Amino acid sequence: MTRLFNEPSRFADQLAEGFAVASSRWVRAVPGGVVRSTEIAPGTVVVVIGGGSGHYPAFGGLVGQGLAHGAAMGNVFASPSAQQVYSVAKAADVGGGILLAYCNYAGDVLNFDQAQERLRAEGIDCRTVVVTDDIYSAPADEIHRRRGIAGNLAVFKTAGAAAEAGYSLDEVVRVAASANARTRSFGVAFNGCTLPGASAPLFTVPKGRMAIGLGIHGEPGVGEQGIPTADGLAELLVSTLLAETPPKVDSASGSRAVVLLNSLGSVTFEELFVVYRRLGQLLESAGITVVEPEVGHLCTSFDMAGVSLTLFWVDDELERLWRAPADTPAFRKGSVVPAGRADASTAGVFASNNIALASPESRASVVVVVSALQSVVSAIDEQVEELGRIDAVAGDGDHGIGMQRGARAAFEAAHKAHELGAGVGTVLSCAADAWADRAGGASGALWGVALNALAKRLGDSAAPDSRSVSEGVANALAAVLRFGKASIGDKTMVDALAPFSEVLSRAAADGVPLADAWGAAAEEARGAAAKTAALVPRIGRARLHPTKSLGTPDAGAASFAVVVSAVHRVLVAEGQRVSPPGESK
C-alpha cells in the first residue's frame, strides 16, 4: 500500500515538486508538469507526453535528451487538464511544431484535444498520436478503442529520437504512428494497488489466482485464472502476444522485436529476470530476433503486483531510432552529447483572467454563486471516500479526489473573482477553468465544459432567474453530450444531468421560482443517479467490466447529485437574492 503521503488530494502536486527538484539535471518544473532543463535547438519538433500520476517512470521520468521534451503530469490516475497540457507544450515549444503523444483513455483524449485546439488557434502546428497497445481492451478490428499501457515507451522513444535527429513534424508523426501500429502489450496482476489515503486496494484477487488483461489504473482484469510458475507466465505472455502480430509483420519467424518486460509496481527485478529467462527461450524458438530489451519498472501502477509484456516489432528505421542514445531521469541508452542548460526565465507565464464589467444586479448575485460552491466543497469532502469506493468497483477509484480538487479550486477561483468585482458569468467561468485544471481527468474536463456553458448564458448583465439558469443548464447538457460523446443510458454523469435539466426547464416554464425549481430537479437527479446502478457502462474504462458495476451507481452521476443538492441548500437559504423568471433585482 501507499504509506508515505501528507494530504491525499495534494499527493500529485507534492510528488511533482519533489521529482523536479531531484531530477533538475534533466527537467525543470513548469505549470502543469515538466520540460527539459537542457537546451533544445530552435526549429526542433517537440514531443510532449503525459498522463496521470502514479505510473513512474511514465511520464515525467521520460523527459530528456533523445526522448520527450515535456510531460504534463495529472492527478493520481487522472489525465492532466487541458490547461496543464497547453502550459507544458507552450513551455517546450521552439518553433518546429508539437507532437502530443499519450495513452488512449477518455480523460486524456478530452483534455489533450482541447489543448491541441488552443495551440492550433494560436498558429502552432500541433498533432496527436494516441497509444493503443493493450490487446485485451478491444478486439483487433476495433484497435482505435484499445487503451495504452507500457507500450507507450516504444512510441515515445522512437518519436523523441526522430525529433532529435531533425525529422520534420510530418515525419515524427509518421514514426510515432508506425511505432504504435507495431506495438502489442498484455498484462496480468496478482493484486491491485492502493491509492494514497485509501484503506484497501482497488481490487483484490483470490489467493492462488491472477487477473489477466488489466490496465495501468488499478482497474480489475478482464479475466482471471490460476497463478502459473514463472515459466508458465512467460509462456502465457508470449503465446498471447504471438497470436496477434501487427498487419505489417508477415510472420513472427524472421522478424525483429523490442521486448519490454514491465513490473507494474511491487514485482521485483529478480522475479522479472526469472520470467525473462524463459521469455528469451520462447522468442528464440519462434525465430524472433530480440532487439535491446528492457526489463524493469517502465510504466507502473503504484504498488500493483503485476507484470506486462510488450512486443514492439521493428523495421530498420524503428530499430535505429530505438537504439539511438537517450538520457532522462528514468531511461538511459548509449551516450548523448550533453546539451547546455536552458534559460528558464520565460517559462510558465500566463495572464490572469480578465474581469469584465458587470451590472450591480449580477455582482449582487455572485454571493449566492460563491456560497453555493462553498457548499459543494463541504458536500464533496463528506462524500469523497464513498465516491472513490463507487468508482473503484469497475474503474480506478480516483473520482472522489478529483471532485474534491476540482470543487476546492472552483470555490477559490470564484472567491477571488468576486473580490475583484466580477459578475455571475465571469465568476462561473473562472470557477469552470479552475475546476477543469485542478481536477483533471474526464470528469474535470466535463465539469469545466458544463460550468462554462452555464456561465456564457448567465453573463454579467443581469441577475440569474429560473429561466436563464434552466437555459444555461440545458446548454451545459448539450455541451457535455457534444464534448464527452456520451448518451443517456451509457452510465455516466449524463444520466443524472439530463433528467435534472428536463425537470428544471419544465419548472421554469411554469413560472416556478429558482430555489423550488432547482429543488425539484435535484430530487430527480438523485433518483436518476440511484437508477444508474441497474445500467451497464458502454463507454470509458468501466466498459471493459460491464457486469462488475451492476448494483452500483455511476460515480459521475452520484457526484452530480451531490453537487446539485448542495447548491439547492444555498438557494433555499439565500432565496431572497434570486428572482422568479423574467425579473431582476
The CA distance from 326 to 66, in Å, is 4
Angle (CA) 297-298-302 rounded to 5° is 60
CB atoms within 10 A of CB 55: 27
Contact between 284 and 324 (Cβ < 8 Å): no
* Secondary structure of residue 373 in the 3-state scheme: helix
Which among 198, 206, 237, 204 has a CA at the least distance from the CA of 220?
A: 204
- As a residue count, the chain comes to 585
| β-bridge partners, 126 | 98
The CA distance from 120 to 136, in Å, is 34
Which among 505, 448, 439 has a CA at the least distance from the CA of 480?
A: 448
Burial (Cβ within 10 Å: 0-12, 13-18, ≥19) of residue 354: exposed
| β-bridge partners, 46 | 98
Cell numbers given for 61: 521520468
Catalytic (active site) residue 568: no
> Which amino acid would we find at residue 513?
P
Q: Which of 55, 69, 217, 418 is catalytic?
A: 217
Helix axes 360-392, 555-573, angle to 10 degrees: 150
Angle (CA) 236-237-238 rounded to 5° is 95
Contact between 429 and 358 (Cβ < 8 Å): no
Residue with cell 500541433: 126
Spell out a b/e string for 168-202, using b for 16 or more CB atoms within 10 Å of the CB, else e. ebebbbbbbbbbbbbbbbbbbbbbbbbbbbbeebb
Separation in Å, CA 493 to CA 15, 454, 490, 526: 30, 16, 9, 11
* Secondary structure of residue 171 in the 3-state scheme: helix
Residue with cell 524463459: 278
Separation in Å, CA 111 to CA 52, 115, 318, 349: 12, 6, 29, 20
CB atoms within 10 A of CB 207: 8
230 Cβ partners below 8 Å, 6+ apart?
A: 271, 274, 275, 277, 278
CB atoms within 10 A of CB 22: 11
458 Cβ partners below 8 Å, 6+ apart?
A: 362, 424, 425, 428, 464, 468, 469, 472
Which among 188, 302, 181 has a CA at the least distance from the CA of 244?
A: 181
Active site residues: 217
